[in-house]
């Protein structure tokens, strides 16, 4: 499952006990608007959310190894993240 809040993620909206993957997408230190995909450990598409105006994104996912893929104008970038049950995994993506 996934979720995105209009205007971007806010630490206050993290739900206790939920496994959360969140982060930001930047280029040259500036936020980038686009989309972020969540792929499972086999590379299978699971979810997609738009970034906020500040380049932020958030997914609620199961524990395990995931690929987070940023899709922005003129670039793509992947990051591997290991999500722990009930934990918060932070991901910074530079494109």
pLDDT tens for each residue of 43-90: 999 999 999 999 999 999 999 999 999 999 999 999 999 999 999 999
Q: Across residues 1-24, what is the average pLDDT? A: 64
Q: Is residue 64 part of a domain?
A: yes
Among residues 6, 1, 9, the alpha carbon closest in space to that of 58 is found at 9
Does the pTM exceed 0.85? no
pLDDT in tens, 19-29: 999 999 999 99
8 within domain boundaries: no
Q: What is the CATH number of the domain that holds 60?
A: 2.60.40.10
Q: 6 in a domain, yes or no? A: no
Number of domain units in the chain = 1
Q: Residue 65 has which token pair?
A: 């190894």
**In-domain check, residue 54:** yes
Say if 90 falls within a structural domain: yes
> What was the pLDDT predicted at 15?
63
Examine the pLDDT at 14 and tell me if it is beyond 80: no
In a domain, 83, yes or no: yes
Task: Evaluate whether residue 5 is within a structural domain.
Answer: no
Residue 34, domain extent: 18-94
Question: Is residue 33 in some structural domain?
Answer: yes
What SS3 class is residue 11? helix
**DSSP character for 55?**
S
What pLDDT does residue 18 have? 83
């Amino acid at each position: 499952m996934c979720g995105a809040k209009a205007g971007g993620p806010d630490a206050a909206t993290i739900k206790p006990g939920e496994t959360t993957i969140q982060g930001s997408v930047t280029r040259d230190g500036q936020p980038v608007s686009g989309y972020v995909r969540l792929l499972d450990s086999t590379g299978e598409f699971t979810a997609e959310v738009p970034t906020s105006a500040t380049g932020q994104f958030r997914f609620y996912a199961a524990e395990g190894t995931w690929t987070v893929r940023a899709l922005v104008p003129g670039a793509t970038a992947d990051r591997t993240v290991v999500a722990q049950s009930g934990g918060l995994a932070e991901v910074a993506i530079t494109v």
